[in-house]
Chains A and B, each alone.
Chain A
């Protein structure tokens, strides 16, 4: 039986969206089941792990595009009922109920709201039973409030497009799919879960995410954190990281909880410095990129961080909050005017149901269990689980899991692909005199009520070169797109102005209208008659003259418009992977399994890297068999060429077209021409010369210890964490040392060795925290020290004497140990990183690791960058693994897969238009003198002087359309496509003429 080519995605977490996106780009259809009635009704991780403090429309926009292209289908009010069959041929029974308002047809005229006779007040909001959802969303969501609606039917009668229908019966449908992705959403702790912290019990205890959601449209300002009880600005604020104090099993701390607390504290301090902000936590887990620096900033801002084992929260008069906490052997108490809770993630509530329906298994924490060393494979072939459904995670990881499993999904899919719709034949109008048609949308008659469109049309008739003015019903529903397109065609114009509403949502429809009329969309302009005119003015005369001015300016721009085909650039189809460590090998194998050729460049004489000396990790992953297998696969693959003892000496070119010169020891220089480059060069172990390391053989690093573990069978081992890191010189956490130390401590303890572990913060994130409790149970001693007061090695005769001042009690402790183990952490290979960064024009972060947009981690930046819909946002270079930031081996594999997954989306394309094809910079060869000023000013290295023609050339892939070249060029040889000077000056003149 041939395999199905459709993939079912259950749930609306970010990974699921991204998989839909990746598959859509590869030409596969997805069906997405949303249990809610609108796009964000059920919050996913991004919307729960706020603050983002900005909108994330770009995360959703591709969804709309793929629905438009027929590559994606979304069912609302839907659920999965039954799964039959097996990988490649699942038959899935789902229920669905379409939303009352079909957002693809709705024109947002609000007639339904106007006619609705039911006035209600819900949560303080006065509205009709038919209303626009006020929560943040990527488009206005028209809803019908079922509890208040009288089903009078007025709204349905008033709807001019038929988008609104009250009769939306539930349907049961059966769909055939090749693979199923389980991507249910983030489960936020509720009132009961947060009972310990008084949420919903005391008015002035709020959730950070709620503050963020409420401030999405305004940004986080002073008004965003007033006391709910009286609206006053609090003088003292407590921020509590609840999963660190909650009962076990209720909620799990996700990647950015600690960072979120610090971020929130910094924001408050930076807005109102006088407010006292105190963070309560057990550990400050700052293992994300830049998180330690945020902590340093907080210290400078005067934020207090109290690390304590337990807290209790109560209300005192005036709705103030009292927090009692453990401090050493005593208890302390502090009062606040408000408390902000940073919550964790509950085990997924969908788990039980999905276990029954899909046959998947849960782990001991109630999250979906995954096969070891995979990023999404469940125990059932063809059913994959991603995102927050599988563990408490970070947003970056969640996004990466959108590309990571692509290869695994494709194994189960057939080869039927979605073809994008063919463009109609476009007319060549280059030899015609400009004839402009202005089509004024009446939005099904609703604009006429506000502005006299007839008058406007008459005035527009006087604009030179306007040969047709017509009022149309719309161009946003299938029938009006069709009718307006034929009107354009009949009128014989060769330039079109649509005076309509915002192209933010309807751009594709407006372009479609123009295209269906046989004209290139570059020969059209879209005026926001609704947003820029009708909604912002009351005076009809002002409306008319503004509308006229906008249309006049558009006409002036259009008369000089040209419909040149978009610049295309060829894409190579091979990858180069720098670094033959486990990350690089994983990426190469992924690509080869996707059918792409790659070259691995390794400077030493063997592949495998540092992973070869690792045995197991704390979670019991055995690395050796995995690595051996990987090396075997790489060596066996015909698509992978391994170049050992090879160094890169020069790089030129750009995404899709790199030219790399390399030398192999003892051989001639050779060239590679990869389309994309994956940098997997790893990092180094930190070298220290303190605590007599290197002088006394009893002092070792954790890696040294792992080699000697079998020789230590009794006695006492002391370990010190954060040696030489998380200090001003290296203000970052190496992420792996705590689990490595606790892992080794547990192994030693099993043999009867006593272990004392000195630490600042135990960074056992996610499920790794289990091992902390295990270690406590087994009698491993944990002693916290202050960052300014590290333990000291005071003597080393028969035994090593270590003295340390306890962080909480202040007691001076003296310990004698047989071995002292230092957790020294990971440092970037600065020399190498700087060399490659220069060659590839990349930035290093402040710590010396690669800093790349597509891999940004501090989530305030990440939200802007991670969702950039274009796989080449990092210009075809993907730093992964330890080269990017410290992380565990399992985590580096995910990065390798996501980079390879992203590459797989672009590598099959022989030609590609640049991301901003309409506005990309170009060169007028007749005017260019080749002076190179534009090359000097281009911040993106998108321009160079052609050595033969001696004029400037543009690499459209690198151009960001900033216009610096246009300013620099004295000859006006540099211009932005569709924004040429003769268009813009003329249009500005027209605007100023009013």
Chain B
């Protein structure tokens, strides 16, 4: 366990200090839009009014890993940029780095123990009152009951792998920041900032973790699909808008396979299929898309919950994918986003493996 230090700064002072000590030249974080129009993940430079920066604000308008991937895919930034990421966003970024869609050089990863985000439906932000109750639940290390379903059952809420980790749970968002520095990069920042005194004891979170575990099992039970009919039922309302794949940080293809020429049929192919069934629901391959997507990204799914948020017909996509993903990850004993050096299951072929999966 890394030592936790009391920075005796709030988050805005901390950001300012990083710029002042030339540790960073840019910052990515959730930020209030001008005229109070909402919150968005933004790239900021020195001179910005950092009071408007709200890294802990409990919404996820988009998974920030996508933004960081776009920022770094072609080449690394020429000078250091710090990015605030929730643990699931950080895991997604690590996965994207493994598949060359992002680079971590000159990036300082800041993360914090996450208490979940609120569903971001219809562009509506949580009310003052909701936020207050949320802050309270952080202080008490409890689960807020209106956050995203997947957040309620999230066991990976600790900021593993971040250069700078901020401990909030049990302290609250308004206390001075409690920081730990796990990586070499983090330790050199710690040195530059002179944070070596006043250690803090970590909060007790056993109860929280076990509550989350229980929630997860509940969630899996509620969304379990055990036969073909249930599968058809769940996706019955799918309008094939593909929105779930567009917001998914792991769906990194330029063009979705399911939109490729492979699925561009000739009329005779329709006729062939129709021959056997007398009816075809159009467009074809609606549920096949979901199954295919699960098989493509399931081993890397970080259960951020974006897909459920954007589903216009309220299919519990992320809840099901979290369960499916976890099964796939269990087969390969693979934890997405945990370790940059751990290869993805698909590229580690062994001649003798998975015999138990044969029928």
Seen from chain A, the residues whose Cβ lies within 8 Å of a Cβ on chain B are 464, 556, 559, 926-933, 936-937, 945, 950, 968, 970-972, 980-982, 985-986, 989-990, 993
- Distance in Å from the Cβ of B47 to the closest Cβ of chain A? 33
Flag if A936 contacts B347 (CB, 8 Å): yes
Flag if B266 contacts A986 (CB, 8 Å): yes
Seen from chain B, the residues whose Cβ lies within 8 Å of a Cβ on chain A are 73-74, 99-101, 252-257, 260-262, 264-269, 272-273, 275, 296-297, 343-344, 346-347, 349
- Report if A990-B262 is in contact (Cβ < 8 Å); known contacts: A927-B253, A931-B100: no
Flag if B264 contacts A982 (CB, 8 Å): yes
Flag if A950 contacts B257 (CB, 8 Å): no
Across the interface, A933 reaches (CB within 8 A) one of B255, B264, B344, namely: B344
Flag if B266 contacts A559 (CB, 8 Å): yes
Flag if B262 contacts A968 (CB, 8 Å): no
The 9 closest A-B pairs by CB, nearest first: A936-B347, A931-B99, A971-B253, A981-B262, A993-B272, A970-B296, A464-B268, A972-B260, A972-B257
- Distance in Å from the Cβ of A399 to the closest Cβ of chain B? 31
User: What residues of A have a CB within 8 angstroms of the CB of B99 in the complex?
Assistant: 929, 931-933
In the complex, A989 Cα to B343 Cα: how many Å? 36
In the complex, A779 Cα to B265 Cα: how many Å? 87
- Distance in Å from the Cβ of A549 to the closest Cβ of chain B? 12
User: What residues of B have a CB within 8 angstroms of the CB of A950 in the complex?
Assistant: 73-74, 100
In the complex, A989 Cα to B271 Cα: how many Å? 11
- Distance in Å from the Cβ of B256 to the closest Cβ of chain A? 8
User: What residues of B have a CB within 8 angstroms of the CB of A559 in the complex?
Assistant: 266
Flag if A937 contacts B347 (CB, 8 Å): yes
User: What residues of A have a CB within 8 angstroms of the CB of B257 in the complex?
Assistant: 970-972
- Distance in Å from the Cβ of B290 to the closest Cβ of chain A? 14
Flag if A931 contacts B252 (CB, 8 Å): yes
Flag if A927 contacts B260 (CB, 8 Å): yes
User: What residues of B have a CB within 8 angstroms of the CB of A929 in the complex?
Assistant: 99, 101, 252-254
Flag if B260 contacts A930 (CB, 8 Å): no
Flag if B347 contacts A971 (CB, 8 Å): no
Flag if A937 contacts B262 (CB, 8 Å): no
Q: Which residue of B lies closest to A964 (CB)?
A: B349
Q: Which residue of B lies closest to A927 (CB)?
A: B255
- Report if A970-B266 is in contact (Cβ < 8 Å); known contacts: A932-B100, A937-B347: no
**What are 9 A-B interface contacts by the 8 Å CB criterion?**
A464-B268, A929-B254, A936-B344, A936-B346, A937-B347, A937-B349, A971-B256, A982-B262, A986-B265
User: What residues of A have a CB within 8 angstroms of the CB of B267 in the complex?
Assistant: 464
Q: Which residue of A lies closest to B96 (CB)?
A: A931
User: What residues of B have a CB within 8 angstroms of the CB of A972 in the complex?
Assistant: 257, 260-262
- Distance in Å from the Cβ of A964 to the closest Cβ of chain B? 8
Q: Which residue of A lies closest to B253 (CB)?
A: A971
- Distance in Å from the Cβ of A976 to the closest Cβ of chain B? 13
- Distance in Å from the Cβ of B342 to the closest Cβ of chain A? 13
User: What residues of A have a CB within 8 angstroms of the CB of B344 in the complex?
Assistant: 933, 936
In the complex, A950 Cα to B261 Cα: how many Å? 23
In the complex, A556 Cα to B267 Cα: how many Å? 12
- Distance in Å from the Cβ of B155 to the closest Cβ of chain A? 27
- Report if A930-B100 is in contact (Cβ < 8 Å); known contacts: A950-B74, A971-B257: yes
User: What residues of B have a CB within 8 angstroms of the CB of A928 in the complex?
Assistant: 254
- Report if A989-B269 is in contact (Cβ < 8 Å); known contacts: A931-B100, A933-B346, A972-B260: yes
In the complex, A932 Cα to B347 Cα: how many Å? 10
Across the interface, B275 reaches (CB within 8 A) one of A930, A981, A993, namely: A993
User: What residues of A have a CB within 8 angstroms of the CB of B260 in the complex?
Assistant: 927, 971-972, 981
Flag if A926 contacts B347 (CB, 8 Å): no
User: What residues of A have a CB within 8 angstroms of the CB of B343 in the complex?
Assistant: 936
User: What residues of B have a CB within 8 angstroms of the CB of A980 in the complex?
Assistant: 261
In the complex, A559 Cα to B265 Cα: how many Å? 11
User: What residues of B have a CB within 8 angstroms of the CB of A931 in the complex?
Assistant: 99-101, 252
- Distance in Å from the Cβ of B235 to the closest Cβ of chain A? 20
User: What residues of A have a CB within 8 angstroms of the CB of B74 in the complex?
Assistant: 950
Flag if B272 contacts A990 (CB, 8 Å): yes
User: What residues of A have a CB within 8 angstroms of the CB of B346 in the complex?
Assistant: 933, 936-937, 968
In the complex, A930 Cα to B253 Cα: how many Å? 9
In the complex, A884 Cα to B86 Cα: how many Å? 56
User: What residues of B have a CB within 8 angstroms of the CB of A993 in the complex?
Assistant: 272, 275
Flag if B268 contacts A926 (CB, 8 Å): no
User: What residues of A have a CB within 8 angstroms of the CB of B349 in the complex?
Assistant: 937
- Distance in Å from the Cβ of A389 to the closest Cβ of chain B? 44
Flag if A945 contacts B272 (CB, 8 Å): no
- Distance in Å from the Cβ of B70 to the closest Cβ of chain A? 12
- Distance in Å from the Cβ of A339 to the closest Cβ of chain B? 40
User: What residues of B have a CB within 8 angstroms of the CB of A930 in the complex?
Assistant: 100-101
In the complex, A986 Cα to B265 Cα: how many Å? 8
Most buried by B among A970, A985, A986: A970
User: What residues of B have a CB within 8 angstroms of the CB of A945 in the complex?
Assistant: 100
User: What residues of A have a CB within 8 angstroms of the CB of B252 in the complex?
Assistant: 929, 931
Across the interface, A464 reaches (CB within 8 A) one of B101, B261, B266, namely: B266
In the complex, besides A933-B346, A970-B253, A971-B255, 8 extra interface pairs with C-beta distance below 8 angstroms are A464-B266, A927-B253, A931-B252, A933-B99, A937-B347, A950-B73, A968-B346, A982-B264
Flag if B100 contacts A989 (CB, 8 Å): no
In the complex, A972 Cα to B255 Cα: how many Å? 9
- Report if A926-B262 is in contact (Cβ < 8 Å); known contacts: A464-B268, A931-B101: no
- Distance in Å from the Cβ of A988 to the closest Cβ of chain B? 11
User: What residues of B have a CB within 8 angstroms of the CB of A970 in the complex?
Assistant: 253, 257, 296-297
User: What residues of B have a CB within 8 angstroms of the CB of A933 in the complex?
Assistant: 99, 344, 346-347
- Distance in Å from the Cβ of A327 to the closest Cβ of chain B? 46
- Distance in Å from the Cβ of B266 to the closest Cβ of chain A? 7
User: What residues of A have a CB within 8 angstroms of the CB of B296 in the complex?
Assistant: 970
Across the interface, A926 reaches (CB within 8 A) one of B255, B256, B297, namely: B255
In the complex, A989 Cα to B275 Cα: how many Å? 12
In the complex, A990 Cα to B252 Cα: how many Å? 32
Flag if B264 contacts A989 (CB, 8 Å): no
Flag if B269 contacts A982 (CB, 8 Å): no
User: What residues of A have a CB within 8 angstroms of the CB of B297 in the complex?
Assistant: 970
User: What residues of A have a CB within 8 angstroms of the CB of B256 in the complex?
Assistant: 971
Q: Which residue of B lies closest to A936 (CB)?
A: B347
- Distance in Å from the Cβ of A473 to the closest Cβ of chain B? 31
Flag if A971 contacts B101 (CB, 8 Å): no
Most buried by A among B252, B267, B275, B297: B252
Flag if B347 contacts A968 (CB, 8 Å): yes
In the complex, A985 Cα to B272 Cα: how many Å? 13
User: What residues of A have a CB within 8 angstroms of the CB of B253 in the complex?
Assistant: 927, 929, 970-971
User: What residues of B have a CB within 8 angstroms of the CB of A968 in the complex?
Assistant: 346-347
In the complex, A990 Cα to B271 Cα: how many Å? 11
In the complex, A981 Cα to B265 Cα: how many Å? 12
In the complex, A970 Cα to B251 Cα: how many Å? 9
- Distance in Å from the Cβ of B28 to the closest Cβ of chain A? 22
Q: Which residue of B lies closest to A935 (CB)?
A: B347
Flag if A986 contacts B269 (CB, 8 Å): yes
User: What residues of A have a CB within 8 angstroms of the CB of B275 in the complex?
Assistant: 993
- Distance in Å from the Cβ of B219 to the closest Cβ of chain A? 27
Q: Which residue of A lies closest to B256 (CB)?
A: A971
- Distance in Å from the Cβ of A843 to the closest Cβ of chain B? 16
- Distance in Å from the Cβ of A105 to the closest Cβ of chain B? 39
- Distance in Å from the Cβ of B68 to the closest Cβ of chain A? 16
In the complex, A990 Cα to B265 Cα: how many Å? 12
- Distance in Å from the Cβ of A436 to the closest Cβ of chain B? 12
In the complex, A972 Cα to B253 Cα: how many Å? 9
User: What residues of B have a CB within 8 angstroms of the CB of A556 in the complex?
Assistant: 268-269
In the complex, A874 Cα to B267 Cα: how many Å? 47
In the complex, A990 Cα to B349 Cα: how many Å? 33
Most buried by A among B266, B346, B349: B266
- Distance in Å from the Cβ of B19 to the closest Cβ of chain A? 31
User: What residues of B have a CB within 8 angstroms of the CB of A981 in the complex?
Assistant: 260-262
In the complex, A981 Cα to B74 Cα: how many Å? 30
User: What residues of A have a CB within 8 angstroms of the CB of B347 in the complex?
Assistant: 933, 936-937, 968
User: What residues of B have a CB within 8 angstroms of the CB of A982 in the complex?
Assistant: 261-262, 264
Q: Which residue of B lies closest to A928 (CB)?
A: B254
In the complex, A945 Cα to B73 Cα: how many Å? 13
